[in-house]
Structure 1
């Protein structure tokens, strides 16, 4: 609101409270509320119609049925002040009353409150409420939350057990349903059926057909799915399982390689997040290569962008739906600039530059702000650091580090920034330090077990991981993690391949490392570390060999499917096509 609007509202409300110049009385349960017609007309189309079309011009007293006195007081107060107190105790009744009287401001306030209250245990109820009292934004957000947190919703929400069968089918068919393992979908439908087996057992065939059974390991299909009593009792279900097993065999033996991933039983669901890789050094020059990794389809997807400029030894950050490309080198100059790529509109924008040129820069995000640490300005290795605030489009210098570092890597953990390793112009570094934004102070922590320049650093599970790099003699396969509680480093199983200056990120309990320099050449090799098994395994290669690329994880975009491998709906392989009349 503007100052004039606020002042006007204050005056009108004072007049209402003093019952001055009021030209109408709203009566609820025999209690009279004195108001000004024009104020309520401005607040609600209902009152405008009531005062101008549903009554005579001389009518002054209006009895309002089917609403409590408290709710009407809320509505009148909002009409005069633009404010409403939404709380857990009144949210449902307030939402209903606001919908009944078409008070959009209160509906929006209730919707915003409910959006902030979304948890796995209530998202279905909020989604259902927004369906009855229709608010598109809240409905979409609640449903997206349900899809994104499906595993927890299915296992812990009482509301999930009350879902109608047809709504459950729509949910299970959705490509955006977020499950790390497809077997969780099967377990969810059995859980739903067992809640009311006499009424729901007949839905097993319909629901089982929604499970992408060919994505489940054969052992689980044979020992758990096929032997489930509901599946065993249904001829249709047994046939579905057999078809799934045949599909798995075709997939594993290389039969129908182009069709299998598109088969309804084998079509991967869309991931909730993507690994985005941008730029790098390839073939003796910087590149503008742009690709996302779809970990459900296990492949890289090239992103076409003619406006992307070649850049290497830069940093990237994902924030508020945009990719930020920080500093770097184009083969001629070191950059102080930062460019912002809107991942929804596919447009680039240059934003405020840093205070220093920084290639070999370390970049991370903490509390909605981008940190750029150290680097090389073309003359010196830097100990300076700065922080970018998107809302003001400004960089601010923070306290300098204890060490000058280029080719380091950084991450955030427990509201602190950690930076490890790097190169000071003479030596590869084993030292590490952390920054506390509350005190604007850097603290040296225990050094790593190895010197690591061109290292990859990432936080996961309350630890900071340092992977690969160059120790001054050779490229490393080794990895280690830091425990901030004990200020100690511990070894992690080594990568399959040595590398420095590579991209690193965590997706779904796996550390992904992409590209880099292996000591002989740049590489397209990608591998991941499984925290559950403690093992590294190969992943689909990048489309080009490159080092000095930068990676970040993107999520929550309205157009997530644009960054995924194409999903197409095909008929079952054993179905005949429809006849053409």
Structure 2
């Protein structure tokens, strides 16, 4: 009896000797193939007709298809007909059985993949899929989708999902996305590596997919919404966007309870409570010292601030706003003149782009985003106080909308319940305002709301649990000067709270903690701390030195390019 190949001779115990042996063996086999020596099977292939000689043992070792073929009834025939693969493709794959390589190109990869699946050549399938993904473009991905549906190739399906996870923002805006089946979309949304700047982007994609065929997609909608990291939304977003969706009321209730009642979290069953790995967030701050601007990022692990970019900005009084992957600098003041310029800084690649200028120059204005649209409100043009308002969309540029009832600058502005609110400010050098107005984009009308209890210039405003909170930025007694607006009853009420209590309202949220960017000290340093709910105390962190904070936002770490 012949020795088993698993009982390897001493010769093969040495890896270098074994490699040399295998190289010599394969070289001999390839020579037999090239010379058509010791051939024991020939395939007759059509389209165009050709004969392809081969060795049964090699093909059977390379593919279960050939192994089963040669064990079957026609396996002993010296000539075997193949009618379902064209001759060029078949010959390339026979060569692959010998060499592990084949000339796969973007032009033949579809035919090669289909044939490799039939012939059960797993390594060839992998090579085809790798070729497809290596050459993927906006146009070729449509071909890849068709090919995946035709072949039901699991590896191609998996690689496409990996691509969709990595390029989700682009994919979710495409037409093909609207036809994704529920299982596929759920696999994508469940991924902790879903590449999105904000969790809201995943919500927007689900909503777009759902609206494409509402009757057929109502039943699976809650399963997709459950894939979101719901605890990363604030309560107002959950109430206004998640709760109204069919079948999602309980999901919204659980997430709100999780946010508002930390002590009860062990009793609340939720699929995901942590942010995605790609959505890990940090602070990004613009600081100004004299006319030097720097973009600083907070390193949470080392508790220190690092320079992310040096900014060349030769004007002041602009209003910055975070929009997707960009910081938009809108309006401002340069050489004694108000500006209408709009510049966009891409956070990821640190490049500037000029956007269409506003219709009117503004400084001391306020900017908010609502439903993907940017609103520039009031401000100053020279010494003229403005009541005009304009709105920007990439498709339409800047267009005027209804003006404020009362002109103003240095006000506060927020969005709540799909409306824009502006409060306080001033319209003469000596007159502060307590007037409040609300803009409804559906009717394009500003309406007066109840006045604040006090006049306020440059107020600090924050939406919290369906209410608007206002704090004077420069009040000497700011801890005693907070008021809250109830939009449902159109009522302002004054509330008295300690600084720590105010920080829970006006502070920024990061890692499910509330952070306070405190006042500047005499050394021009901004104190920073977060609230430890378990110990009910404020924990001081690394302060932000050297300059005044012009802008601070929580951004995904994935947006920040590697240094």
- Per the alignment, residue 75 of structure 1 pairs with none
1:97 alignment counterpart: 152
- CA shift for structure 1 position 299: 4.6
SS at match of 1:401: coil
The CA deviation string for residues 444-493 of structure 1, in whole angstroms up to 9 with x for no partner, is 2122222110111122322222122357xx67342222221121223344
**Cα offset, 1:321, TM superposition:** 0.7
Matches of 2:374 and 2:391 in 1, distance apart?
6
TM-score (norm 2): 0.51
- Give the drift of 1:431: 1.4
Counterpart selection for 1:433 from 433, 437, 462: 437
Paired position in structure 2 for 1:292: 297
In 1, are the aligned partners of 2:525 and 2:545 still within 8 Å (CA)?
no
Q: 1:348 aligned to 336, 340, 352, which one? A: 352
Offset of residue 424 of structure 1: 1.0
Question: Does residue 557 of the first structure (1) align with residue 558 of the second (2)?
Answer: yes
DSSP-derived class of the 2:390 partner: strand
1:29-428 to structure 2, matched below 5 A, reads 45-47=109-111, 97-99=152-154, 126=188, 140-141=194-195, 272-280=280-288, 285-293=290-298, 296=300, 299=303, 301-309=305-313, 311-330=315-334, 332-391=336-395, 394-425=397-428, 426-428=430-432
Query: Counterparts of 1:96 and 1:404 in 2: how far apart (Å)?
Result: 64
**Structure 1 CA distance for aligned equivalents of residues 150 and 469 of structure 2:** 47
1:478-530 CA distances to partner (integer Å, 9 max, x unpaired)? 22222211212233444649x9xxx9755466665647789x99663456789
In structure 2, do the counterparts of structure 1 residues 383 and 123 end up closer, same or farther at CA, with 3 Å as the change threshold?
same
When normalised by structure 1's length, the TM-score is 0.49
Q: Secondary structure at the match of 1:47?
A: helix
CA contact (8 A) 2:439 2:447 kept: yes
Bigger strand fraction: 2
Cα shift at 1:349: 2.1
What is the distance in 1 between the residues matched to 2:533 and 2:117?
68
Q: Secondary structure at the match of 1:303?
A: strand
Is the CA contact 2:409–2:426 (under 8 Å) kept in the aligned structure 1? yes
- Are the counterparts in 2 of residues 419 and 434 from structure 1 also a CA contact under 8 Å? yes
CA distance in 1, matches of 2:499, 2:117: 77
Given that residues 324 and 340 in structure 1 are in contact (C-alpha distance below 8 angstroms), is that contact kept between their aligned partners in structure 2? yes
Distance in 2 separating the partners of 1:553 and 1:326: 19
Label 1:483 to 1:358 Cα distance change in 2 as closer, same or farther (>3 A).
same
Q: Residue by residue, what CA displacement relative to the aligned partner does 1:264-307 show, whole Å, maximum 9, x if unpaired?
A: xxxxx998333333245x5xx4541432345x559552424334
Unaligned runs of 5+ in 2: 1-46, 49-83, 88-104, 120-138, 203-226, 233-257, 272-276
* C-alpha distance in 1 between matches for 2:406 and 2:534: 35
The equivalent of 1:481 in structure 2 is 484
Aligned partners of 1:84 and 1:275: how far apart in 2?
39
1:493 and 1:415 map into 2 onto residues whose CA distance is 28
Counterpart of 2:449 (choices 427, 432, 445) is 445
Distance 1:289 1:47, change over 3 A: closer
Task: Name structure 1 gaps, 5 residues minimum.
Answer: 1-22, 25-33, 56-77, 86-92, 131-137, 154-178, 193-268, 563-581
C-alpha change, 1:403 and 1:506, in structure 2 (3 Å) is farther
Rounded to whole Å, the distance in 2 between the matches of 1:441 and 1:322 is 29
How far, CA to CA, are the matches of 2:108 and 2:366 in structure 1? Answer: 53
Q: For residues 293-333 of structure 1, give each alpha carbon's deviation from its aligned partner in whole angstroms, at most 9, with x where no partner exists.
A: 45x55955242433431554332111121111222335744
Report Cα offsets for 1:50-108 as digits up to 9, x if no partner.
589999xxxxxxxxxxxxxxxxxxxxxx99x97989xxxxxxx9598154788999997
Change (3 A) 1:516 1:350: farther
1:456 and 2:463 matched:
no
C-alpha contact 1:460 1:506 (8 A) present in aligned 2 = no
Mark the structure with the bigger radius of gyration: 2
Matched residue of 2:111: which SS? helix
| Equivalent of residue 543 in structure 2, options 541, 544, 555 | 541
1:457·1:504 contact (CA, 8 Å) conserved in 2? no
Q: C-alpha distance in 2, partners of 1:449/1:290? A: 37
8 Å CA contact 2:436–2:450 kept in 1: the answer is yes
Check 1:102–1:430 CA distance in 2 against 1; reply closer, same or farther (3 A cut).
closer
In 2, are the aligned partners of 1:272 and 1:556 still within 8 Å (CA)?
Answer: yes
1:340-365 CA distances to partner (integer Å, 9 max, x unpaired)? 11111112222222122222221222
Name the SS for the 1:557 alignment partner: helix
Structure 1 552/441 Cα, relative in aligned 2: closer, same or farther at 3 Å? farther
Name the CA distance, whole Å, in 1 between partners of 2:526 and 2:309.
20
CA distance in structure 2 between the partners assigned to 1:489 and 1:365 by the alignment: 24
